[in-house]
């Protein structure tokens, strides 16, 4: 078994354990801990994160950048780094909307090379290794063959602090694509691109833990991604697409 296969297995086990806990403990974990404008933090975020960080530390103690804890573990951040979103789609989870996920990725030299997105409410687990393939559970998945935005679906979101320029771009996308979807979970949205359910994803202001696993999935499934930004702990410009349609602006 290759090193990346072994590391993917570690990520899968951690994501599955966190997803199962989030599903079974929703009643007691679905409690608002803090609110920052439109952003909500709930107990489930920190509880799931603790499970994941413990599992990764025991099995593969690379540096971790995680939504709740920030940077964890010392080490060479230019080598392997885990990117963890313990609960992507916290408001969805809180409100019983099914699009939420555990997202774990491994970066090599700051580039996502493998990822797991466990959509635990819907019972779907996506995983993939760049250069080896992507899977929904054990079944291979691939990006779609649609090559025109007018026939395709764009997954996107609007940042909480969106200005006039951001809203103008959003309006342009509505006119360009057949459908534009905003499901409230970047990890799930990107997994759907990898699985051929949508053709592209585009968002400004995402953080690496939001998108790293889904970007790895998309490239592993035959698509591609583009991530632009100053550092791993700063907001990013992110696009992912099936390589048939143009890269979404």
What pLDDT does 249 receive? 86
Last residue of a domain, one of 108, 123, 140: 140
Residue 160 falls inside a structural domain: yes
What pLDDT does 170 receive? 75
pTM of the model: 0.94
- Report the number of distinct structural domains present in the chain: 2
Whether residues 91 and 153 share a domain: the answer is: no
Last residue of a domain, one of 108, 140, 172: 140
Parent domain of 173: 149-241
Whether residues 61 and 115 share a domain: the answer is: yes
Whole-Å CA distances, 242 to 11, 146, 183, 196, 215: 24, 8, 19, 8, 11
CA distance 223 to 93: 29
CA distance 194 to 215: 8
What pLDDT does 231 receive? 86
CA distance 163 to 18: 35
What pLDDT does 163 receive? 62
What pLDDT does 115 receive? 98
CA distance 184 to 63: 27
Contact between residue 152 and residue 232 where contact means Cβ atoms under 8 Å apart: no
CA distance 236 to 211: 10
Over the chain (249 residues), the average pLDDT of each successive run of 10 is 92 98 94 75 93 96 94 82 96 95 97 98 98 97 98 84 68 88 97 98 93 98 94 92 95
Whether residues 71 and 191 share a domain: the answer is: no
- Angle (nearest 5°) at CA 50 between 47 and 54: 150
Residue 232 falls inside a structural domain: yes
Whether residues 40 and 115 share a domain: the answer is: yes
CA-wise closest residue to 211 among 184, 238, 192? 238
């Amino acid at each position: 078994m290759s090193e990346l296969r072994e590391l993917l297995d570690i990520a899968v086990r951690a994501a599955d354990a966190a997803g199962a806990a989030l599903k079974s403990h929703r009643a007691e974990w679905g409690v608002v801990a803090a609110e920052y404008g439109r952003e909500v933090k709930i107990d489930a975020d920190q509880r799931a994160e603790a499970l994941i960080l413990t599992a990764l530390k025991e099995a593969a103690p690379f540096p971790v950048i995680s939504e709740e804890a920030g940077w964890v573990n010392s080490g060479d951040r230019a080598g392997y780094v885990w990117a963890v979103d313990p609960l992507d789609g916290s408001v969805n989870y809180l409100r019983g909307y099914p699009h939420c996920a555990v997202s774990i990725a491994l970066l090599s030299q700051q580039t996502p090379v493998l990822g797991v997105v466990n959509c635990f409410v819907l019972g779907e687990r996506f995983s993939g290794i760049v250069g080896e393939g992507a899977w929904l559970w054990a079944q291979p998945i691939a990006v779609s063959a649609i090559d025109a935005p007018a026939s395709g679906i764009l997954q996107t979101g609007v940042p909480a602090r969106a200005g006039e320029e951001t809203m103008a771009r959003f309006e342009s996308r509505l006119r360009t694509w057949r459908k534009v979807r905003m499901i409230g979970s970047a990890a799930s949205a990107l997994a759907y691109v990898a699985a051929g359910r949508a053709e592209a994803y585009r968002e400004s202001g995402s953080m690496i833990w939001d998108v790293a696993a889904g970007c790895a999935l998309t490239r592993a499934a035959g698509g591609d991604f583009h991530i632009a930004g100053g550092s791993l702990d700063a907001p990013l410009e992110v696009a992912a697409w099936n390589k048939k349609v143009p890269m979404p602006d």
